[in-house]
Amino acid sequence: MKDTLQISVDSQKKGAVMYLQGRVDIESSPDLRDHLLTMLRKPSPPETIIIDLKEVSYIDTSGIATLIEGLKIARIGSISMHLQGLQGHLLHLFQATGLGSLFDTGGSTNNRSTTAVP
């Protein structure tokens, strides 16, 4: 059975947390892109977007490219975009490639219940 991507968003006053679960690959990254662009292009977009990757089992280059595209658009709009929940092979991938330095991953937590958006 395929580990399809599931996306849920918890929007609050000044921010949003996007929870990803499953595989982020060539087939699912367009859906992730659509969700990100919808949030980023709102008339009143959130000040902060947190992408929770704790439940992501796999990410390929198309998924990474989608996250980088979202980050670029967020920066243009002065929106803060953070990654949280990086662990195991995903953490190693982001560290080994230097991509971790592009995204703010500091102070992130792996627990949904403790996620705070300003």
State the residue range of the domain holding 66: 6-104
Q: How confident is the model at residue 8 (pLDDT cuts 50, 70, 90)?
A: very high
Kindly state whether residue 24 falls inside one of the protein's structural domains.
yes
List pLDDT tens digits, range 42-79. Answer: 998 999 999 999 999 999 999 999 999 999 999 999 99
Domain tally, the chain? 1
pTM here?
A: 0.84
Q: How confident is the model at residue 37 (pLDDT cuts 50, 70, 90)?
A: very high
Kindly state whether residue 45 falls inside one of the protein's structural domains.
yes
Kindly state whether residue 111 falls inside one of the protein's structural domains.
no
Which DSSP helix (H) or strand (E) runs through 93? helix 88-97
Kindly state whether residue 62 falls inside one of the protein's structural domains.
yes
Query: How open is the CA angle 86-36-75, to the nearest 5 degrees?
Result: 80
Kindly state whether residue 109 falls inside one of the protein's structural domains.
no
> In this structure, what CATH number is given to the domain that contains residue 93?
3.30.750.24
Kindly state whether residue 56 falls inside one of the protein's structural domains.
yes
Kindly state whether residue 115 falls inside one of the protein's structural domains.
no
